């Protein structure tokens, strides 16, 4: 035998042993006994306004709810103080949604969340799970009617993207609504999103706010400080601290100014922001839209084509970092972005979002030794965002109020009668944009459903 062969066998055996050892050190992680989710949102410049007619459209409502300035919770909010889901609305104010679940009690009906004095809701919030609702009607799905070519609006949609006053080469993407070309649609409707939906209130899953505790967050409230959950099936000592850096975010202070060279968006720097994104949607000719000839124009601050509807929401830290490298999301240091005047009309609805980083906590902490199984008793996820909405007609309303820079938000009213007249005009413009935009998406979605059913 060659004197080198035993050495080779020994070396190969060593590598095999090392590989086996490396495979053995993969840490085992068991799911937590209990989990809590807390969403914090700050909205400014808009007003609660339900996206009428979107009920029953499933997951689409989450995407379109923010686009149209409200959600299911916004509609219910008109009836009473506070409802779960306002963090997905666009209703002006500061909102919090809390959901709790535990594997030790799948039928958990109620729980208590001790909150710090700074929340102005102390000593506690009462979390409740809704009762199981009996299905109504005969249990059959409602038949979708009104689909077909006659319901498709006539016209085109245009997509622009990127910061800069000049329209870039290859822009805009144009979608002819009459052609219904699948390739054209897939290219046009690009909406990045890594948003995880907050578990909704359900039997065995208590939440706040609810019918029994529908208090609003008071002015100046802070959720920084110690919190604790208690209830049947929850682990003892379910306590955690939300530090000041992960409190409710301040309002985004943003404005737009139009000139012959473009449309400039500016906002005040925010230390809590990890990134920024700007999105606009409007019509070129509202009068023509009323007669079925529609031209919708979309623009976003992304350097890659993206309508932006999916990005005006919470995004995980990893997604924000990824999309900042791709220049889809603006850096935390950004304070302005200019758009071509062709891309943002005076009738455009605008959103500026400041993302906040997540706060993830668990107990006991993850063992550093990978050989030790991690068995957390509980974990908590806190998400944050702050969104400003600049609505059509803000420039006119601001001037009537005696405000300063065009489109600034928020604005303090100085001349109530003039402000009301300007606000009435603004509301009419907003409703015109919403109706036309919703008609487009409703018919597009109906046609897509029709295609699936016909296969």
- pLDDT at position 1 is 53
Token reading at 451: 């295609």
- pLDDT at position 220 is 95
pLDDT at 124 over 70: yes
pTM here is 0.77
In a domain, 14, yes or no: no
Share of the chain above pLDDT 70, in %: 67
Tally of domains in the chain: 1
Burial status of residue 305 (CB atoms within 10 A of its CB: 0-12, 13-18, 19 or more): buried
- pLDDT at position 452 is 44
CA geometry: angle 272, 218, 357, nearest 5 deg: 20
- pLDDT at position 190 is 85
In a domain, 26, yes or no: no
- pLDDT at position 260 is 87
pLDDT at 82 over 70: yes
In a domain, 211, yes or no: yes
Q: Sorting pLDDT into bands at 50, 70 and 90, what band is 46?
A: low
Q: Which of 35-44, 234-243, 344-353, 360-369 has the lowest mean pLDDT?
A: 344-353
H helix intervals, 290-414 = 317-325, 394-400
Mean pLDDT of the chain: 78
CA geometry: angle 6, 9, 15, nearest 5 deg: 145
- pLDDT at position 135 is 55
| pLDDT tens digit sequence for 302-319 | 999 999 999 999 999 999
Which residues, listed in sequence order, are joined to residue 158 by a DSSP beta bridge?
174, 297
Q: Which residues contact 426 (CB under 8 A, 6 or more apart)?
A: 391, 392, 393, 394, 396, 397
In a domain, 143, yes or no: no
- Structural domain including 297 reads 34-131+149-454
In a domain, 329, yes or no: yes
Q: Sorting pLDDT into bands at 50, 70 and 90, what band is 134?
A: low
**In terms of Cα–Cα distance, which of 24, 79, 77 is closest to 48?**
77
Which residues, listed in sequence order, are joined to residue 208 by a DSSP beta bridge?
98
**In terms of Cα–Cα distance, which of 363, 378, 101 is closest to 232?**
101
In a domain, 138, yes or no: no
- pLDDT at position 450 is 53
In a domain, 17, yes or no: no
pLDDT at 336 over 90: yes
pLDDT at 11 over 80: no
**In terms of Cα–Cα distance, which of 392, 394, 403 is closest to 431?**
392
Within a 13 Å sphere around the CA of 149, how many CA atoms are in the beta-carbon half?
3
| pLDDT tens digit sequence for 191-224 | 999 998 889 999 999 999 999 999 999 999 999 9
In a domain, 157, yes or no: yes
């Amino acid at each position: 035998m060659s004197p080198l062969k035993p050495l080779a066998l020994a070396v190969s055996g060593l590598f095999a042993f090392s590989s086996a050892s490396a495979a053995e050190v993969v840490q085992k992680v068991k799911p937590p006994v209990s989990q809590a989710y807390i969403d914090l949102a700050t909205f400014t410049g808009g007003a609660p306004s339900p996206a009428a007619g979107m009920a029953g459209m499933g997951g689409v409502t989450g995407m379109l709810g923010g686009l149209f300035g409200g959600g299911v919770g916004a509609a219910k909010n008109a009836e009473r103080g506070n409802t779960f889901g306002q963090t997905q609305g666009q209703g002006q104010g500061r909102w919090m949604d809390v959901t709790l679940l535990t594997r030790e009690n799948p039928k958990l009906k109620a729980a208590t969340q001790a909150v710090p004095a700074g929340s102005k809701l102390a000593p506690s919030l009462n979390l409740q799970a809704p009762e199981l609702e009996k299905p109504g009607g005969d249990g059959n799905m409602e038949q979708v009617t009104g689909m077909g070519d006659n319901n498709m609006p006539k016209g085109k949609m245009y997509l622009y993207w990127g910061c800069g006053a000049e329209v870039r080469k290859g822009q805009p993407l144009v979608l002819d609504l009459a052609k219904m070309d699948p390739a054209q649609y897939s290219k046009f409707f690009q909406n990045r999103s890594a948003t995880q939906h907050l578990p909704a209130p359900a039997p065995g899953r208590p939440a706040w706010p609810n019918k029994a505790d529908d208090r609003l967050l008071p002015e100046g409230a802070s959720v920084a400080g110690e919190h604790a959950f208690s209830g049947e099936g929850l682990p003892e000592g379910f306590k955690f601290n939300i530090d000041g850096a992960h409190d409710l975010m301040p309002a985004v202070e943003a404005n737009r100014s139009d000139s012959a060279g473009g449309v400039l968006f500016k906002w005040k720097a925010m230390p809590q922001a990890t990134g920024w994104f700007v999105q606009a949607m409007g019509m070129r000719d509202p009068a023509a839209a009323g007669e079925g000839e529609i031209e919708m124009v979309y623009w976003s601050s992304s350097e890659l084509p993206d309508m932006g509807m999916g990005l005006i929401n919470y995004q995980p830290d990893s997604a924000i970092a990824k999309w900042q490298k791709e220049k889809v999301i603006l850096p935390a240091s950004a304070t302005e972005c200019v758009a071509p005047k062709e891309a943002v009309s005076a009738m455009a609805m605008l959103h500026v979002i400041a993302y906040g980083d997540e706060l993830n906590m668990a107990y006991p902490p993850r063992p550093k030794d990978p050989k030790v199984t991690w068995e957390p008793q509980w974990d908590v996820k806190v998400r944050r965002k702050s969104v400003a909405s600049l609505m059509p007609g803000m420039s006119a309303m601001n001037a009537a109020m005696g405000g300063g820079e065009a489109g600034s938000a928020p604005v303090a009213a100085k001349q109530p009668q003039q402000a009301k007249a300007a606000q009435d005009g603004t509301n009419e413009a907003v409703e015109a944009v919403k109706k036309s935009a919703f008609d487009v998406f409703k018919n597009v979605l109906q046609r897509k459903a029709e295609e699936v059913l016909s296969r």
